């Protein structure tokens, strides 16, 4: 888009006539107020009109050899690059039918010869003023559209940075040396896109932008674990009693943290709504046997149902110091077997189709020896942890 401040002060008028004396007469008439270009045949006029800078107005004769003015006007209006240039026919053809044809082709005015210089100047000035107003409105509209796109892009980037910062903080309680978050994001995007392909009724809801958003929101799935001590996070044995309650409490803690962020914003952006659903409901089960609410079926938010599959695959296949990971095929078998009980059957069908791509993601973003060593150190330290955390009163 050309900035209006960069445009020359004088409008550019293109004169098109096959008679040299007519071009000279009109050039002299217009030269004091406008920049002028001339063309002595239709083909040259079309080249100039499509060039840079484009004319602000075209004064066009009708009776010319090879290509008459009507045809020139027709081609100008058919080309999006020149269609907005106003055309005034300047001609010796005085019949009403000729004038009507000119207007039908898109001309803005029709002046017959011999001309009256003051009338020509007045009508040229009027059309240029109309064009300047139209250009201003079009430029303003384009600027506003560009500004909306820029601000939307900035907001999206701010959301991504916010999510990544919060997720990185949560990762400090998990394993900052690992690639857990990279895997989770890619799994979620892949599962969402596959589900959208399989379920036509969800195609519009789960478009590419939403899949990307869910991948980002899934990064926050573990934010509630910030309240948990290492002896809970890294326990090599099943938790019981108060420790189990403490573990289950991380879903509420994560939800409350995100709700506090929403309250400060005064609104609920989609990415925070999805993140809250994931954090709070990812451990719900299709048959109602999960926590913290015991939701069942489609009572469970879709984002959480997808995260349940993604989180389980990640838990089964990623390397841990306190237990052996399972092979990809075993993980697929376990998740498939839990369709309709632990997991949404539709999410499982999508997972089965996407399973090979999950395996590729797992290989490409596998944790290295440094990540395993870091987790081993934390496990050793957690065994001596003496700090006791209790749940707040309900």
pLDDT tens digits for range 363-377: 999 887 665 555 556
pLDDT tens digits for range 220-238: 998 888 777 777 777 777 8
- Nearest-angstrom CA–CA distance, 84 and 128: 12
pLDDT tens digits for range 3-30: 444 445 789 999 999 999 999 999 999 9
pLDDT-derived band of residue 150, with 50, 70 and 90 as boundaries? confident
CA dist 300 → 43, 292, 305, 345, 351 (Å): 67, 11, 7, 13, 18
pLDDT higher at 250 or 192: 192
Burial of 112 (0-12, 13-18, 19+ CB in 10 A): middle
Is this prediction's pTM over 0.95?
Answer: no
Q: How far apart are the first and last CA of the chain?
A: 60
Where do the domains of the chain lie, and which CATH numbers do they carry? 4-144 (3.40.50.2300), 172-382 (1.10.3210.10)
At 26, list the tokens. 């009109």
pLDDT at 376: 57
Q: Span 107-131, mean pLDDT?
A: 93
pLDDT higher at 224 or 207: 207
Encode burial over 141-157: b for 16+ CB neighbours within 10 A, e otherwise: eeeeeeeeeeeeeeeee
Count, in order, helices (H) and strands (E) of the chain. 14, 5
Q: What is the DSSP string of 123-184?
A: HHHHHHHHHHHHHHHHHHHHHHHHHHHHHHHHHHHHHHHHHHHHHHHHHTTS-TTS-HHHHH
Any idea which of 39-43, 89-93, 156-160 has the lowest mean pLDDT? 156-160
Q: What is the DSSP string of 205-263?
A: TT-HHHHHHHHHHHTTTTGGGGGS-HHHHT-SS---HHHHHHHHHHHHHHHHHHHHHHH
At 197, list the tokens. 């392909």
CA Rg value for the chain: 35
Residue 67: partners with Cβ closer than 8 Å, 6 or more residues away: 41, 42, 43
pLDDT at 6: 47
- Nearest-angstrom CA–CA distance, 378 and 351: 32
Q: Is the pLDDT of residue 215 over 70?
A: yes
pLDDT tens digits for range 89-112: 999 998 999 999 999 999 999 999
At 225, list the tokens. 């674990």
pLDDT at 3: 45
pLDDT tens digits for range 287-305: 999 999 999 999 999 999 9
Q: Check the CA dihedral 123-129-134-139 and report its sign.
A: positive
State which H helix or E strand residue 12 sits in: strand 12-16
């Amino acid at each position: 888009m050309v900035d209006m401040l960069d445009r020359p002060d004088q409008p550019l008028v293109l004169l098109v006539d096959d008679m040299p004396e007519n071009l000279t007469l009109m050039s002299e008439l217009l030269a004091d107020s406008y920049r002028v270009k001339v063309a002595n045949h239709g083909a040259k006029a079309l080249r100039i009109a499509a060039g840079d800078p484009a004319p602000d107005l075209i004064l066009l004769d009708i009776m010319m050899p090879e290509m008459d003015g009507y045809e020139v006007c027709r081609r100008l209006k058919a080309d999006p690059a020149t269609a907005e240039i106003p055309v005034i026919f300047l001609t010796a053809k005085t019949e009403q039918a000729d004038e009507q044809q000119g207007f039908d082709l898109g001309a803005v005015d029709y002046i017959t010869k011999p001309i009256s210089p003051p009338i020509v100047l007045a009508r040229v000035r009027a059309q240029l003023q109309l064009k300047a107003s139209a250009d201003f409105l079009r430029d303003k509209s384009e600027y506003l559209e560009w500004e909306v796109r820029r601000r939307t892009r900035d907001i999206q980037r701010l959301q991504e940075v916010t999510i990544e910062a919060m997720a990185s903080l949560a990762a400090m309680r998990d394993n900052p040396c690992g690639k857990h978050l990279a895997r989770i994001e890619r799994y979620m995007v892949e599962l969402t896109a596959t589900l959208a392909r399989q379920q036509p009724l969800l195609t519009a809801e789960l478009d590419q932008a939403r899949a990307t958003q869910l991948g980002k929101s899934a990064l926050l799935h573990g934010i509630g674990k910030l309240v948990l001590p290492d002896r809970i996070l890294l326990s090599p044995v099943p938790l019981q009693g108060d420790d189990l309650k403490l573990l289950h409490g991380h879903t509420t803690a994560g939800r409350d943290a995100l709700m506090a962020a929403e309250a400060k914003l005064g609104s609920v952006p989609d990415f925070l709504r999805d993140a809250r659903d994931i954090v709070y409901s990812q451990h719900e089960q299709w048959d109602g046997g999960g926590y913290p609410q015991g939701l069942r079926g489609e009572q469970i938010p879709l984002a959480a149902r997808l995260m349940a599959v993604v989180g389980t695959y990640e838990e089964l296949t990623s390397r841990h110091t306190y237990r052996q990971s399972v092979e990809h095929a075993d993980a697929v078998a376990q998740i498939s077997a839990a369709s309709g009980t632990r997991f949404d059957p539709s999410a499982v069908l999508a997972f089965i189709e996407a399973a090979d791509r999950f395996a590729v993601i797992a290989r490409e973003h596998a944790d290295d020896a440094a990540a395993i060593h870091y987790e081993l150190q934390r496990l050793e330290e957690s065994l001596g942890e003496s700090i006791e955390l209790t749940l707040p009163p309900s």
